[in-house]
Amino acid sequence: MSEWLLVITSFGYVGLLFAIAYSADKLGDTGRSLVNNPYVYTLSIAVYCTAWTFYGSVGRATETGVSFLTIYLGPTLMAILWWLILRRIIRISKLYRITSIADFIASRYGKSMALGGLATFIAVVGITPYIALQLKAVSDSFVVMLSFPDPEVATTPLRFWDDKAFWVAGLLAIFAILFGTRHIDATERLEGMVVAVAFESVIKLLAFLAAGFFVTFMLFDGPQALFEQAAEVDQIRDLMLLSSLPGGYVNWMTLTVLSMLAIVFLPRQWQVTVVENVNEDHLRTAAWLFPLYLLVINLFVLPIAFAGMIYFGEGTVNPDSFVLALPLAEGYDWLALFIYIGGFSAATGMVIVATIALAIMVSNDLVVPALLRMRGFQLSANADLSRFIVNLRRVIICLILLLGYGYYLLIADTYALVSIGLISFVAVAQFAPPILIGIFWKGASRKGAMAGLIAGFILWGYTLLLPSFVDAGLISRALLEHGPLGVGWLNPYGLFGLTDLDPITHAVFWSLFANVGLLVGVSLFARQSDIERIQGALFVDVFLRSERDTRFWEGTATVGDLQDLLGRFIGQERARQTFASYAEEHGIALSERDHARPELVGYAERLLSGSIGSASARVMVSSIIKGEALSFEGVMEILDATSRAIEYSRRLEQKSRELEKATDELRRANERLKELDHLKDEFVSMVSHELRTPLTSIRAFGEILLSNPELDAEQRKEFLQVVVKESERLTRLINQVLDLSKIESGAAEWHLETLDLNQVVHEAADATRQIFNDTRVDLQVHLPGEPMIIKGDHDRLIQLVINLLSNAAKFTDADDGRVDLMVKPVDNEWLELRVQDNGPGISDAEQRKIFDKFHQVSSQQAGKPKGSGLGLAICKLIMDAHWGDIRVESQPGEGATFICEFPTAGGEHCNLDPEEKS
C-alpha cells in the first residue's frame, strides 16, 4: 500500500477528530451539550480499549489462550461495584472540585503538597510506557500496512523525522493542547475531547468487528469450522484450555484484580469517569453497557488469533499484527485500511486523554506547588497567572508526549504490547490503597499514605521497570539471573527468594503488600493533624453532609483581597463575575472592604482548587487570611451543628405534616357533623309542622264544640268525626316518624327469611281491600303462577306494599279509579313488583323528590296534601335494606307506576346483612 495513502488517511482521520471535537465544543458553548448522555459517557469510558486491546490481545491469545480476557473481566467485576465506590469518588470530586487522582489523594490526606507531587510523579513514570506502547502500535501497524508481506522488520529509523510515530505524537500534542487546555479551571468539562473519544470508541469497535467477520466468515466457514480446524493443531488446542497460562490460576486472579483497579485508577479512566462525569445516574447505564462493549470487542479475538496461527504458521508474522496481516494477505487492502484506522483510533484516544489528564496533574500538583514555594514567585503579586498556567499545561503536554516517544525509542521494540501495558497497570494499582482505604476509613493518615505509596512505587520500579531495562539491553542480564552484585535474594524477579510467581504476580504482591501494610500500619500509630482529620471525615461521610457546610476558616480576609487572589489564577474579569453571581445567589452585598464570610472563603478555595489543585489552593488562601484555620473540633462542631439542624428541621417538617393531616380529618368530620345537624334541624322542623296541622284542626274543632253547646247533633257529630280523623292522622304520622327513625338508625329489627313475594303481596292486598272498597277504586292483582322467592322481612314488605297501595288509592279518583298490582320476574336474578294507577300522574320535577322525607305531592287536582310525606321515604329505606331499588315512571295525566326491583334469593346481590347497607 502506498505510503502517501496511509499518511493522508491517518492525518485525514485526525482532521475529522478535530472537526468533531470543535463542533462538540461549539455545541456545548451554546448549551446543547452532547456529553450529558449516558451513552456518550459509556463510549468515552471505552477509551480503556487501546491499541493493547486492538492488536495486543490477539498476540497475547496466541501465547496464553483465553487469559487475555482477564483484562476485561476485571472491569466487568468493578463495574458492578461502581455504584458503591465510583459514585462516592465522583460525589467527593464534584463537591471539592478535585480534578485528578493526585489531587484526590493530596486532598484526602490533609491537602498535602508532598503527597500530591509524589502521586503525580508515580502517574507520569507509570503511564509513560503505556503512551509509548500506543506510539509503538501505531508505528508497527504503519510498517505492516506499508511493507506486508515483505519480511521487513520494524526497526527504529535513525533520524526521528522519518519516524511516523514522532509525527503522530506531534499531531496528538496539538490536539491535546487545543481541546485539553481550553479552560484554566480543570473542573470545566472538556466536551470536545470527550465526544471525540466517544467517536473513536465507535470506530475501533466497528473496525475490529469488521476484521472478526472477515476472518471468521469469509476466510473460514464460521466459528465452528474455524475452531474445528484449530483443534487439529496441537499447539492451538492447548490454548483452548488454561494449561498454557503461565502462573496458572494465581496469574489469572492477579490479572483480574489488576484490571479491576486499572479501570478506576488509570489517570485517563479517572478523567473520563470521574472528572468528565455530568450526572451520577449515568453510572447506572455505564455499569452494564461498558462491560457489554468489552464483551463484543473481545468476541473475535480468539478466532482471529487461531486463524492467524493456522494461516501463517509459526514465526513468520508477528501475532500482534494478525488483525492487519490476514486481510492484507488475502488482498483486501481497503478492509485492512479501515482496520488500521480502527487501531489508530484506539491508540490516539488513549494518548489524548492520558496526556491531558497527566498534564493537569503535573501542573496542579507538581509545578504550581513548587513555584508557590519559591519566595520570589509569590511576591510578584497581581500578575495574571491564569495565562501562565494554561501555557504551562501546554508545555507539559508536549513534554509528556516527548517522554513517551523517548521511552518508545529506548525500549519498546523489545516488548510485546501487553507486557508494556501490564507494567503501567501495576504502577497505577499503587493508587488503590490510599484512595479505597481513604474513602472508607477516617483513620488513614498522611504519613501512612506517604510511606505506602513510596514503598509500593519503589518495589514496582525494582521488580518491573528495572527488568524492562535489562530486556532492552541497558543493564546486564546478570541482574535477573543472579541478583544485584550476585545477591540472590535481591533478584527483581524473586525478591526474598519468592521465585514461584510470574513477574507480574510477583510485583503486584510485593508492591501492594508493602503499600497496604505501611498505610494501615503507620496510620494505626501516627497522629493525624487537624486538617487530615477534617478531610478524612469529609471524604468518608460525603453522603451524610450537604455541600454548603464546609467552613474551615476562622481568620479574616477582606473580600477585595480574596477576589484579587482568585483573579490572579482565573482572570480578574472572571473573578469579578464569580463574586457578583455569588452575592446575587446568596442575596448579600459584597463590598471590597468587608470581611469575607467563612463560606465565601471556602467557596473561593474550592474554585482555586479547580485551577491549581487543592494543596496549592489552601496555601494561597492561607497566605491572605489573618488568623488561622479552624481546629478539627471547631469544624466538627460546625458540621455537627449543621447536621443537627438539618435533622431537627426534618423532624419538624414531619410533625407539621402529621398535624396538617389530623387537621384535615378533623375538618372533614366537622363538616359531616354540621351537615347531619342541619338535616336533623330540618327534620324536626318538618315533623313539628306536620304535627301542628292536625293538632290545630283538632283544637279548633274542640274549641268550637266547647264554646257552642247549642250546636245541633248533626253538626256536632260532623265536627267530632273531623277530630277523630285528624287524631288518626296524627297517630299515623307519629307511627311513621317512629318507624322511619327506627329504620334509619338501624335499630329496626329485621327478620330476614326466604319467602314468596306472591304471598306477601296477597296478604297486603287483603289488608287494603277495605280502603279500596271505601273509595270504590278497582284493585287488580296479577300474580305469576310460580312462587317468587326472595329474601326479606315479611312485616316490612307488607308495609311496603300497603304504603304503595294506599298511596295509589289516595291519588286515584273514586268510582273510575283503577290500580294494577303485579309481580313478575325480570331475569334470573331480578324480579319486580309494579303498582300502577290511573291517577293524575307525577311531573318530572316531582319524580325526583317524592322519595325524600316530608315531600308531598302538591297539585291543583289533589288539593291539600293527602299524605304525611313519609310513606315513600319509608318504602325507599325498605327497598335499600332488601338490596333492591324503587323508582317511579309517570306521565302527567296518565297515571303513575311504582316499580320495586328485588334480587332473587340466593343471588350474589343479597348476601349482605341489611345493616351493612345503611
Partner 1 sequence: MQRTERIVALALLAALLFNYPLLSLFARDGWVFGLPVLYVYLFSCWLLVLLLTGLVLRRRRHAGVPPRQGNGKDSGHV
Residues in touch with partner 1 (CB under 8 A): 66, 69, 73, 76-77, 79-81, 83-84, 87, 223-224, 227-228, 231, 240-243, 249, 252-253, 256, 281, 283-284, 287-289, 291-292, 295, 299, 302, 541, 543-545, 643, 646, 650
Smallest gap from Cβ 104 to partner 1, in A, equals: 20
Give the residue with the Cβ less far from partner 1, 225 or 724.
225
DSSP type of residue 69: G
Smallest gap from Cβ 487 to partner 1, in A, equals: 34
Give the residue with the Cβ less far from partner 1, 440 or 489.
440
Give the residue with the Cβ less far from partner 1, 58 or 802.
58
Give the residue with the Cβ less far from partner 1, 114 or 299.
299
Q: Are 196 and 179 in contact (CB under 8 A)?
A: yes
Give the residue with the Cβ less far from partner 1, 281 or 637.
281
Instruction: Give CA–CA dist 707/481, Å, rounded.
Output: 148
Instruction: Give CA–CA dist 320/309, Å, rounded.
Output: 11
| Residue 820 main-chain phi, psi, to 5 deg | -110, 130
Smallest gap from Cβ 43 to partner 1, in A, equals: 16
Q: Are 806 and 862 in contact (CB under 8 A)?
A: no
User: What residues does 337 pair with on adjacent strands?
Assistant: none
Smallest gap from Cβ 322 to partner 1, in A, equals: 18
Instruction: Give CA–CA dist 424/443, Å, rounded.
Output: 29
Share in percent of the chain as helix, strand, coil (round to 5): 70, 5, 25
Q: Are 1 and 333 in contact (CB under 8 A)?
A: yes
| Residue 897 main-chain phi, psi, to 5 deg | -125, 125
Residue with cell 346481590: 909
Smallest gap from Cβ 493 to partner 1, in A, equals: 24
Give the residue with the Cβ less far from partner 1, 253 or 480.
253
Give the residue with the Cβ less far from partner 1, 23 or 546.
546
For residue 664, the surrounding DSSP H or E stretch is helix 632-707
Give the residue with the Cβ less far from partner 1, 264 or 289.
289
Beta-carbon contacts of residue 743 (< 8 Å; ≥ 6 apart): 874, 877, 878, 881
Smallest gap from Cβ 849 to partner 1, in A, equals: 43
Give the residue with the Cβ less far from partner 1, 92 or 177.
92
Give the residue with the Cβ less far from partner 1, 70 or 838.
70
Give the residue with the Cβ less far from partner 1, 576 or 650.
650
Smallest gap from Cβ 319 to partner 1, in A, equals: 18
Q: Which of 448, 432, 406, 639 is nearest to 534 (CA)?
A: 639
Smallest gap from Cβ 662 to partner 1, in A, equals: 20
Smallest gap from Cβ 61 to partner 1, in A, equals: 11
Smallest gap from Cβ 38 to partner 1, in A, equals: 11
Smallest gap from Cβ 296 to partner 1, in A, equals: 10
Smallest gap from Cβ 111 to partner 1, in A, equals: 24
Give the residue with the Cβ less far from partner 1, 281 or 774.
281
Give the residue with the Cβ less far from partner 1, 67 or 616.
67
Smallest gap from Cβ 439 to partner 1, in A, equals: 12
Smallest gap from Cβ 494 to partner 1, in A, equals: 24
Sign of the CA dihedral 869, 872, 876, 879? positive
Q: Looking at 613-631, list the stretches that DSSP marks H as alpha helix, in order from N- to C-terminal side.
A: 614-624
806-837 residues labelled b (16+ CB within 10 A) or e (exposed): bbbbbbbeeeebbbbbbbeeeeeebbbbbbbb
Give the residue with the Cβ less far from partner 1, 101 or 289.
289
Question: Helix, strand or coil for residue 793?
Answer: strand
Beta-carbon contacts of residue 916 (< 8 Å; ≥ 6 apart): none
Give the residue with the Cβ less far from partner 1, 654 or 696.
654
| 3-state SS track over 335-389 | HHHHHHHHHHHHHHHHHHHHHHHHHHHHHHHHHHHHHHHCHHHHHCCCCCHHHHH
Give the residue with the Cβ less far from partner 1, 287 or 412.
287
Instruction: Give CA–CA dist 268/348, Å, rounded.
Output: 12
Give the residue with the Cβ less far from partner 1, 115 or 283.
283
Smallest gap from Cβ 202 to partner 1, in A, equals: 19
Task: Give how far the C-alpha of residue 670 lies from the chain's centroid of Cα atoms, to the nearest Å.
Answer: 44
- Which long-range contacts does 290-295 make (Cβ < 8 Å, 24+ apart)? 290/42, 290/45, 290/46, 290/48, 290/75, 290/79, 291/72, 291/75, 291/76, 291/79, 293/42, 293/43, 293/46, 293/49, 293/201, 293/205, 294/46, 294/48, 294/49, 294/72, 294/75, 294/76, 295/72, 295/76
Smallest gap from Cβ 544 to partner 1, in A, equals: 5
The length of the chain, given as a count of residues = 918
Instruction: Give CA–CA dist 336/669, Å, rounded.
Output: 82
Smallest gap from Cβ 245 to partner 1, in A, equals: 9
The cell numbers describing 882, all together, are 332488601
Smallest gap from Cβ 433 to partner 1, in A, equals: 19
Q: Are strands 789-793 and 778-782 parallel, antiparallel or unpaired?
A: unpaired
Phi-psi region at 555: left, alpha or beta (left = phi > 0; alpha = psi -120 to 50):
beta
Instruction: Give CA–CA dist 799/754, Å, rounded.
Output: 17
Residue with cell 472540585: 97
Give the residue with the Cβ less far from partner 1, 77 or 454.
77
Task: Give how far the C-alpha of residue 390 lies from the chain's centroid of Cα atoms, to the nearest Å.
Answer: 36
Instruction: Give CA–CA dist 432/119, Å, rounded.
Output: 11
Tally helices (H) and strands (E) across the chain. Answer: 40, 7
The cell numbers describing 155, all together, are 526497526
User: What residues does 833 pair with on adjacent strands?
Assistant: 823, 900
